[in-house]
Amino acid sequence: MGIESIIKGKVVEAVNSCYSQNIDIETVQIQKTRREFEGDLTVVVFPFLRFSKKSPEDTAKDLGAFLQENIESVTAFNVVKGFLNIVIDSSYWISVLNTALQSDKYGFKKLEAGAKKVMIEYSSPNTNKPLHLGHIRNNLLGYSVAQILKANGYEVIKVNLVNDRGIHICKSMLAWLRFGEGETPESTGLKGDHLVGKYYVKFDQEYKKEMEALVAKGMDADEAKKQAPLLVEAQDMLVKWEAGDKEVVALWRKMNDWVLAGFDVTYEKMGVDFDKVYFESETYKQGKAIVERGLEEGVLYRKDTGSVWANLEADGLDHKLLLRDDGTSVYMTQDIGTAYERFNEFSIDEHIYVVGNEQNYHFQVLSLVLGKLGYDWSNKIQHLSYGMVELPEGKMKSREGTVVDADELMDEMVNTARETSNELGKLQGYSQEEAEDVYNKVAMGALKYFILKVDPKKNMMFNPKESIDFNGNTGPFIQYTYARIQSVLKKTVDAGIEFPEFANTNIAISEKESNLIQMIANYPVIIKEAGDSTSPAQIANFVYDLVKEYNQFYHDFPIAKEEDVELRAFRMVLSKQIAQIIKSGMELLGIGVPERM
């Protein structure tokens, strides 16, 4: 039991003892004491004034005296208005440090039988274009949330749904047929996803030309959008695909294989993976079957044109299309089929979809439609809705070819890390292989940290140059602090100083050292809060605050040169534990930390 829980329990006893009142432990509020006041923890006294019938100061003095008398580690207290500041003996904090040192996975909960089973879907790319900056935020967020949920003791299943069918896929297929002249990844040297993406852009360019030509002949602009020959042919191709046309299906398989091979390279570079990959081409049939059943049961309805809809007016929404007039399915159809397959196969307790906030309505509707179709797990769906990523130059558009390609961005980050490291001269004596490993860790650490430190719900602007700075709230700054600690500890051991297992609890430590241990004590709480809120930003900002606090300590206090043997031993194990938390916290963000920089 942590000291906060102990204090809360004793405050309940104190109110009973002093004022003969039983209170709920949840009404006891404890905060970290503000830096300008003496103390470690602060009890808010105002909720107890109605029982004491005394001033805030006198009430605080009553409670403070009780706590000092009944909790051994409370050595003193002071009162500032209605706030009771409590001083905790340094021996308690050092014992907390010693406890933390005993676990390689400090703050993590073990996976136990009967643990909550959570599925998390992220990435969900379309096989008509390569991954871009928006996909990077999606993948990094999904992977990190999965790591954090595992650290909270959940059984986590990471899945990807590849959107490998639909009109957008047919657009790139048709453009390749018309304008590709048989190009392949091998003949062009392009990654398969880049090659197919090139023809998705080409389709849009040629489609616009056709629309403009029709408008020039007097056709209404909205009608021209529907009647442009390329679009009509792409729609026909989709109907043929769903009907199993051999030539269309063969072309689809070939081009999808190119794209999927390209995605695998990008995922490996990004450092994300999946336990299972689903394909829309395999799940949409299940969705169509479920929609047909809903139609038979009267839950859904068919319009005269042949399309199938769900009426959601009773839920304050409108009508949602589930099958088009020609019988082809939409995203919602396959999401119904995919959800059905997943809940049946894995008996999951919660399903988290990591998808941008432009799809908020989609997932609200998905849950409602599944509920109407009779699935009692429809309320176990959670949409982790995240904001858009922009660059200083502005927004991106896939069909216009103005996206920031994920592969190119990651390569640029590695090049920048290489240039920065060479300028600073920090990797002298490294082999080329060792140096490249550091460049990659620094580059990906910069990219991942810059994105994950932002609350997922917020839109953000990604600035590559800012992200790779070795100072400030950045991944490289945190990585450098970890490497510095490793260097200091190695030099200390190399100087013949034996590395201690634990610290002596009877030594006097500074306020700064006590603050560091209190941050260590709070790490398990941060992991839980990050899991509850599905926000890696909580981990990122905690690690940065810890690193900032440690660097101030490192500047002010000697370690190897400390003459007091017990104090030196304490600072060595304190530094070791700080490094362990930096490493594990960064791993929760999917970031590696170099041992040397």
DSSP 3-state assignment of 590? coil
pLDDT at 233 over 90: yes
Task: Give residues with Cβ within 8 angstroms of 490, minimum separation 6.
Answer: none
Of 35, 37, 23, 26, the closest CA to residue 81 belongs to: 37
User: Residue 190 pLDDT > 80, yes or no?
Assistant: yes
Q: Please state the pTM of the whole predicted model.
A: 0.92
Q: With contact defined as beta carbons under 8 Å apart, do 550 and 578 qualify?
A: yes
pLDDT above 50 for 54:
yes
User: Which pLDDT band, with edges at 50, 70 and 90, does 159 fall under?
Assistant: very high
Give CA–CA dist 60/81, Å, rounded. Answer: 9
What sign results for the dihedral spanned by CA atoms 385, 381, 585, 7? Answer: positive
Q: Please report the DSSP string for 171-200 in residue order.
A: HHHHHHHHH-TT--HHHH---HHHHHHHHH
442-492: per-residue pLDDT in tens? 999 999 999 999 999 999 998 888 898 888 999 999 999 999 999 999 999
Q: What is the mean pLDDT of residues 205-223?
A: 95
CA geometry: angle 178, 182, 187, nearest 5 deg: 140
If you ran DSSP here, which 8-state letter would residue 106 be given?
A: T
Phi/psi for 485 (5° steps) reads -60, -45
Question: The dihedral of CA 25, 29, 31, 34: what is its sign?
Answer: negative
- pLDDT over 50 (residue 396): no
pLDDT of 490-537, one tens digit each? Answer: 999 999 999 999 999 999 999 999 999 999 999 999 999 999 999 999
| Residue length of the chain | 597
d(CA 173, CA 414): 33
pLDDT of residue 430: 87
* Tokens matching residue 178: 């018309």
Domains annotated on the chain, with CATH: 3-88 (3.30.1360.70), 164-275 (no CATH)
In the predicted model, what is the mean pLDDT of residues 216-234? Answer: 95
Average pLDDT for residues 117-124, to the nearest whole number? 97
Q: Token pair for residue 464?
A: 């590559």
Alpha helices in 314-463 (DSSP H): 331-346, 360-372, 406-424, 432-452
Q: If you average pLDDT over every residue of the chain, what do you get?
A: 94
At residue 327 the predicted structure's pLDDT band, cuts being 50, 70 and 90, is confident
Report residue 151 as tokens.
């650290």
Give the DSSP per-residue string, 342-378.
HHHHH--SEEEEEEEGGGHHHHHHHHHHHHHTT-GGG
| CB of 423 closer than 8 Å to CB of 440 | no
The two beta strands, 460-461 and 389-390, are parallel
Of 101-105, 428-432, 496-500, 585-589, the poorest mean pLDDT is in: 428-432
pLDDT of 200 higher than 80 = yes
Which pLDDT band holds residue 398 (cuts at 50, 70, 90)?
A: very low
180 band by pLDDT with thresholds 50, 70 and 90: very high
Residue in this structure with the two tokens 């791993």, named with its chain if needed: 587
Alpha-carbon 228 to chain mean position:
42
What pLDDT sits at residue 328? 83
Lowest mean pLDDT segment, chosen from 113-122, 174-183, 429-438, 585-594? 429-438
The answer to whether 145 and 353 are in contact (CB under 8 A) is no
User: Average pLDDT of 387-398?
Assistant: 68
